[in-house]
Amino acid sequence: MKSAALLAALASAVAAASIARSDASCLTVSGDAAWPAKSEWQKAMPEIETQKPKESWTQPPYRLDATTVAEVIAAINFTRQHNIRLSILNSGHDFVGRNDAPTGLTLSVSGLKGARLLSSFTPAKDGVPSVDSKTALNTLPTQKGQAYLTFGAGYNTRELNSLLAPSNLLTLGAAHGSVSVAGGWGQTAGHAPLSAKYGLGVDQVVEYKVVTADGVLKVANEATNPDLFWALRGGGGGTFGVVVEATIKAHPSQKVAMTQIWINTTDYNDQSSIYPFAAKFMSEFTAWQDKGMGAYYWLYPNAMSIFAFYSNDDASKDWMNEQFKPTMTKISKMKGINSKTMVFVPLEFPNFWAFFKQVWGDMPGKGGEGMPGGMTARMTASPAPPTLSRRHGPGDGAATAARGIVYLDSWLLGKKELQSDKWASVLKAAMPNLPGGNLGGQFIGGGETIKLGNNDPTSVLPAWRQTYLHLILYAYGKPSSLPLRQFAPDMGAYANEAYPRTHQNWQTTYWGKHYPKLAEVKKKYDPTSLFWVTPGIGAEAWTAQPDGRLCRSERSSTNATAAFAPLNDNKNDADPHVIDEIAGSAFPIKYSG
């Protein structure tokens, strides 16, 4: 932030801030008399590019790949002054399609780079020294304690952990290397493989730098703009401003032990016996979560595959065997389950990066080639159709693209639910009765995610602080989490991995008791609703018209009749087979013994 060019841009931003967004009842779209000429766009944003719809794939007519904060400020000022819709794009992974719109400007922030390690952090009015794309990462001598990482908002999990590896540090991020850390992931909740040990993504952030709707760069930490800082840790991406930089915790990397388990029913056609087994496994697993263990599983009507991991100085294959195998062997003798076909493969790694590389790959698009089956096997068994790779962003270091809407559904569940007598039958009812249907269990709660919720300093959906399991329903179709919602009505859903057409009572489903206060913070920092995503805080402000034009809505955030969020007019649906990349299609093992 020290360069003369940036200071000049900031000064012009302050001047521009006095020009308010027009109070017009509708936004301007291409073809309107008020739509600026191309030369005006280019004058304000010299690097801007035009975009055309691709087949049935709609996109805004202009796109800016920002690499500096000054460009972000210019994009915000231009769209505000000209009453034009603005979409923020980072990794493009949003399942709900909130990174894209049929009109206006796409502001891509994945080019905001630069990182610096700090050995300590104290919240201050001016924030930490800023980074830009020329800031080369320093290394810290290997240390036992926690450090902090300041980075441009365009980095993803894989890039950050690769940068941290020489200092033997790690940071939390999605279990998919290409998801951005300071975008929708870190601003909504952010669950990670090691969440049970270190908390959610929102628990990692100690400072954000954000350009708000007035075009002004603001520091948000516990000392400065604390209300904005609170809102940015749970209120969701694309809502309060454009985050350009984050400072987050970096934890010392320790050994990792993992195990993969596959199990199926004795009779391949038996589509009942797996549920009592799975329910028992999940009920037992909560105790391991409180020790810091995490797991992902995929449950099919006749089989289950589990992938569990634990990071600590004592983590080893032997530790995993001792902890896990006796219980698994015991419960795999349950009725209808074939313990002879249980495959149990423990592995160990010297540090988190070695584990991450093997499981999720160290290069864009690469799975964990060394994995004995599991994710890689499923992906190989069901290669993504060509349309998918075309729509998926090209990966690290490159400009990203919106990947399209995915019709999954999900619900958060606590210990009480996982230990309920009804759990096995609820699981069975929840299994999507659709082609490719399976339940993707994410054991990313418990442990620190619960403890850090005491006097919660974040605005994350309070149900996260009781969550042990985030259960996702996958299918080639539109699965429904209704049986889970009816079973656990007081919990809620993760807005990033939810049904795209939103749930009834969406405000409490995604934000719980925090919604009214989040709506106030939204009004304070974005009074004319420049930033609009749905579902999102303050989504009631606009209604999308068929031509992509947003018009002021009569609804208000306190209107109890606003049971459903305004419909998103992004109609770019991903190929339904995209779930093969995230979950699995048919279970590969058929027992013939």
Ligand X SMILES: Cc1cc2nc3c(=O)[nH]c(=O)nc-3n(C[C@H](O)[C@H](O)[C@H](O)COP(=O)(O)OP(=O)(O)OC[C@H]3O[C@@H](n4cnc5c(N)ncnc54)[C@H](O)[C@@H]3O)c2cc1C
Binding site for ligand X (CB under 6 A): 88-95, 98-99, 109, 153, 174-176, 179-180, 182-185, 190-191, 237-238, 242-243, 496-497, 533, 582
Write down the least CB distance from residue 591 to ligand X, Å: 30
Cβ closer to ligand X: 251 or 392? Answer: 392
Using the minimum distance from each CB to ligand X, give the nearer residue, 89 or 165. Answer: 89
Spell out a b/e string for 69-88, using b for 16 or more CB atoms within 10 Å of the CB, else e: bbbbbbbbbbbbbbbbbbbb
Cβ at position 81, least distance to ligand X in Å: 20
Q: Rounded to an integer, what distance in angstroms lies between the CA atom of residue 308 and that of residue 292?
A: 11
CB-wise, 137 or 539, nearer to ligand X? Answer: 539
**Extended beta strands in 127-241, E state:** 147-152, 169-170, 205-211, 217-220
The Cα–Cα gap between 468 and 420 comes to: 14
DSSP 55-79: TTB---SEEEE--SHHHHHHHHHHH
Closer residue to ligand X, CB minimum distance, 212 or 273 = 212
Residue nearer to ligand X on the CB measure, 201 or 276: 201
Comparison of 328 and 521: residue with beta carbon closer to ligand X: 521
Helix (H, G, I), strand (E, B) or coil at 139: coil
CA gap 329, 316 in Å, rounded: 19
Nearer residue to ligand X within complex by CB, 233 or 428: 233
- Nearer Cβ to ligand X, position 108 or 338? 108
> Could you give the angle at the alpha carbon of 88 between the alpha carbons of 82 and 89, nearest 5°?
140
Shortest Cβ 260–ligand X spacing (Å) = 18
Q: Which residues contact 5 (CB under 8 A, 6 or more apart)?
A: 70
Mark residue 355 as left, alpha or beta (left: phi above 0; alpha: psi -120 to 50; beta: remaining). Answer: alpha
Shortest Cβ 466–ligand X spacing (Å)? 17
For 545, counting Cβ atoms within 10 Å of its Cβ (0-12 exposed, 13-18 middle, 19+ buried), the class is middle
Shortest Å, Cβ 585 to ligand X: 15
For residue 28, the minimal CB distance to ligand X (Å) is 20
On whether the CB atoms of residues 417 and 487 are closer than 8 A, the answer is: yes
Q: In the complex with ligand X, which residue's Cβ is closer, 279 or 530?
A: 530
- 337 and 275 Cβ atoms separated by less than 8 Å: no
Q: How far is the CB of 86 from ligand X (least distance, A)?
A: 9
In degrees and rounded to multiples of 5, residue 168 shows phi and psi of: 50, 40
Residue 93 beta carbon to ligand X: minimum distance, rounded to whole angstroms: 4
Least distance CB 488 / ligand X (angstroms): 19
- Name the residue nearer to ligand X (CB basis): 78 or 275: 78
Closest approach, Cβ 155 to ligand X, in A, equals: 10
244 vs 424, which CB is nearer to ligand X?
A: 244
Min separation Cβ 203 and ligand X, Å: 12
Q: Tell me the closest approach of the beta carbon of residue 6 to ligand X, in angstroms.
A: 18
Q: In terms of CB distance, is 180 or 264 closer to ligand X?
A: 180
Residue (157 or 264) nearer to ligand X, CB: 157
Shortest distance, CB of residue 393 to ligand X, whole angstroms? 8
**Do 315 and 255 touch, CB atoms closer than 8 A?**
yes
Print burial letters for 101-134: b (CB count within 10 Å at least 16), e (below 16).
bbbbbbbbbbbbbbbbbbeebebeeebbebbbee
Q: Minimum CB separation from ligand X for residue 66, in Å? A: 10
**Closest by Cα among 21, 23, 113 to 76:** 21
Query: CA triplet 454, 455, 458: central angle to 5 degrees?
Result: 100
**Across 290-437, where does the E strand assignment appear?**
294-300, 303-311, 343-349, 409-414
Closer to ligand X at the Cβ: 180 or 332?
180
Rounded Cα distance, 364 and 540, in Å: 37
Residues 308, 282: contact at Cβ < 8 Å?
no
Distances from the Cα of 386 to the Cα of 92, 326, 391, 398, angstroms: 18, 44, 9, 19
**DSSP β-bridge partners for residue 414:** 467
In the bound complex, what is the minimum distance in angstroms from residue 322's beta carbon to ligand X?
Answer: 28
Q: Which is nearer to ligand X, 241 or 301 (CB)?
A: 241
The string of DSSP codes covering 498-512 is: S-TT--TTHHHHHHG
Residue 72 tokens, joined: 């972000």
Tokens of 87: 């979409």
Task: Report yes or no: 166 and 139 within 8 Å, Cβ to Cβ.
Answer: yes
Rounded CA gap, 73 and 81, in Å? 12
Q: Which regions of 302-354 does DSSP assign to beta strands (E)? A: 303-311, 343-349
Closest Cα to residue 254, out of 352, 167, 161? 352
